[in-house]
Each structure stands twice: as structure tokens, then as C-alpha cells.
Homo-oligomer: A and B are copies of this chain.
Amino acid sequence: MIEIKSLPAGCAARRSETACETCGARAFSVCGSLGPADLAKLDALAEATAFAPGQPLAHEGDPADYLFNITSGSVRVYKLLSDGRRQITGFLFAGDFLGLASGDRHLFTAEAIEPSTACRFRRTAYQALVHDSPSLERALLDRARHELAAAQSQMLLLGRKTAHERLASFLLDLPSQDPLRPNAEGRVRLPMTRGEIADYLGLTIETVSRVLTKLKTQGVIRLLSLNELSLERPEQLRAMAEGEI
């Protein structure tokens, strides 16, 4: 069940402090680039919702009645083959928008990884608002541009990088996406399981585990716990991510 809080929608979550790895631009929430008038209109039609781990926000093939702006936690977005093979196309964190790629129906499934909250909009009302607000439309287009660039980088990773290069790229990218990354320099939070990392990188759980172990013994990373590690030699990781090692 989706819990609907009274107020406020809080869709204006920003994360302007993070620079984007993919395009060099500063990351931003869809709502982050709006004026107060647009924000007020958005809040009027938004509902704050909460999701337990594993709970779906959207399901592939279902009508896309709602769109979401994630306000806390983390979400996995994936597509399935009929025999159960899963490709996670992205992880979403606070400030990310869910549903940009959706028309009438969702083309992916989205589920909370941790306890998460999101700002929910009915799509019809949202479309009407977007229709009336050029600034909102522009913000959406910018966000779509950003997602397209990230998707192209991920295609390069999935099509042409080795297992080591994929892990290195992932560990470098993740903190720039997750606004909740630990503050200490080089620390990375891993809210997702090894299996989710594997399904995001086109590998198996075992390969992810082996590569992480190898990186650990090489002294490139240090595992602080199962769900947190620190980058000990980020420059070496960067070289590895580009295939220079």
C-alpha cells in the first residue's frame, strides 16, 4: 500500500552540489530549476508517498498513471526477459525523476531498494501542467538529455568494457549520483546488493564478488562493510575504468 502523507510534497529536493560524471554539467532535480510559481503549482498536484524495500513504484506494461520524483532512498529500474534474466537500466536517488521515458505505459519496472519516499504526480495532471509551463518543459528536456547521455555511456560499458572496467566505472559513477554518499573523501555507499550490481553491469553475482575481492587485494578499494567501501586509489580506478590498465 502506498502511504500518502498530508503535506508537503517536497518535490523540490535539490542536489546541485554534485557534478555530473557523464556530461560535466551539474546535476539537478527536475524541480530544482523552477521558479516559485511553478513549484507551487507542482506541489498542488503532488502527493508524498513512501515505499518499503521491494515495493513497486511502477510495473512494466502497466498504464503509466503516475510519475514520481524521488525524494529519499534509492530505487532500481529494470527490464526482464521472459526467462527471468534481468537488466537494471538505472538506480534512482533523491532528486531523480521516474517516468521520463514512459508514454501511456511504463516500459520498465521500478522498485524501492531501501525504505524510500517519492513525490507522486498523476500523469494527466502533470502533462497539463507541463503543457502550460515552458520552464518545466525545458527542465524535463534537460533531464532527458542527461539521461540519454548516461544511457549511451552505459551502452559503451555493457558492450565493450571488461568486468574490471565495469566495476571501476560503477564505483566512480555511483557517488556522483547518490546525494547520500558518506561525506568522508572517497567513501561510497552501496545500498544495492551484489546481485543488483551484477544485473546493472551485465555480469553475475560471482564475477562482481571476485572483482571486488581483487580490487581489495590490489589496495584500490577498501571494504568498510558489505554496503560501504572507500576508494583508496581513485586515479588508478579511473585509469582502469577507461581501459588504460
Contact = CB atoms under 8 A, between A and B. Distances in A.
Contact of A137 (B101, B141, B159): B141
A205 interface: no
A173 interface: no
A156 B81 contact: yes
Nearest to A133: B134
Contact of A107 (B147, B149, B159): B149
Interface range on chain A (Cβ under 8 Å from partner): 35 or more
A102 B158 CA distance: 21
A140 interface: yes
Given A134-B134, A153-B79, A243-B85, A100 B160 contact: no
A78 to B, nearest CB: 9
A89 B152 contact: yes
A151 interface: yes
Interface string A131-170: 1001001101100110111011111101111000000000
Interface in A72-87: 79, 81-83, 85-87
Contact of A103 (B23, B108, B158): B23
23 contacts: A22-B107, A79-B156, A81-B156, A81-B242, A81-B243, A82-B244, A85-B161, A85-B243, A87-B155, A87-B160, A89-B152, A100-B144, A100-B145, A101-B152, A102-B145, A103-B149, A107-B149, A107-B152, A107-B153, A108-B152, A148-B148, A151-B155, A159-B201
